């Protein structure tokens, strides 16, 4: 919902009705999906699947709840660092849009992607596109779950 030099579309990620089915070659969402209410995740991913051309991929980056949970319980993570980890889990909450509604790990995100028809779901270290939240680290530990998945080609 924020314009920027690398942003092609600003709007509601759950409603891509302005785009025709099978019309988009790649869909990139970095630290977006966790802001969608859990009940809306299936329909949001169905919409992303709908607009992608067959054989094309979605690239999704979200905070990795497994990593953040491990960081949160580390005895050496205290004070302001513990607050920062908590904000990575639940959103910074600095404005009305900065709240996380759901947490993901590879299994949870993978199930949702599979259920709407994506295949070849895999974790990647980086998308290699540009510097954004997908490459965030906390004291040298990468905190993002970066996943690529393909919309199958029609047979």
The structural domains of the chain, ordered by start, are 24-150 (3.40.50.150)
d(CA 113, CA 107): 10
Q: How confident is the model at residue 9 (pLDDT cuts 50, 70, 90)?
A: confident
Model's pTM, two decimal places?
0.93
Q: Where is average pLDDT lowest: 29-38, 55-64, 130-139?
A: 130-139
Checking if the pLDDT of 155 tops 60, the result is: no
Q: To the nearest whole number, what is the mean pLDDT of the chain? A: 94
Q: Token match 């906390």: residue? A: 138
**72 CB contacts (<8 Å, ≥6 apart)?**
82, 85, 86, 89
Tokens of 59: 């690239």
What SS3 class is residue 6? Answer: coil
Tokens of 41: 């995740």
């Amino acid at each position: 919902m924020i314009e920027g030099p690398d942003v092609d579309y600003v709007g509601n990620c759950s409603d891509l009705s302005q785009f025709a089915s099978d019309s988009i070659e790649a869909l990139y969402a970095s630290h977006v999906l966790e802001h969608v209410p859990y009940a809306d995740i299936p329909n949001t991913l169905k919409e992303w699947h709908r607009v992608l051309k067959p054989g094309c991929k979605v690239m999704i980056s979200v905070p990795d709840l497994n990593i953040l949970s491990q960081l949160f319980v580390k005895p050496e993570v205290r004070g302001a660092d513990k607050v920062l980890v908590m904000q990575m889990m639940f959103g910074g909450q600095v404005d009305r849009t900065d709240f996380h509604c759901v947490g993901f790990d590879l299994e949870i995100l993978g199930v949702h992607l599979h259920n709407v028809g994506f295949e070849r779901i895999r974790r990647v270290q980086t998308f290699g596109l540009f510097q954004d939240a997908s490459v965030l680290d906390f004291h040298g530990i990468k905190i993002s779950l970066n996943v690529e998945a393909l919309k199958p080609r029609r047979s």
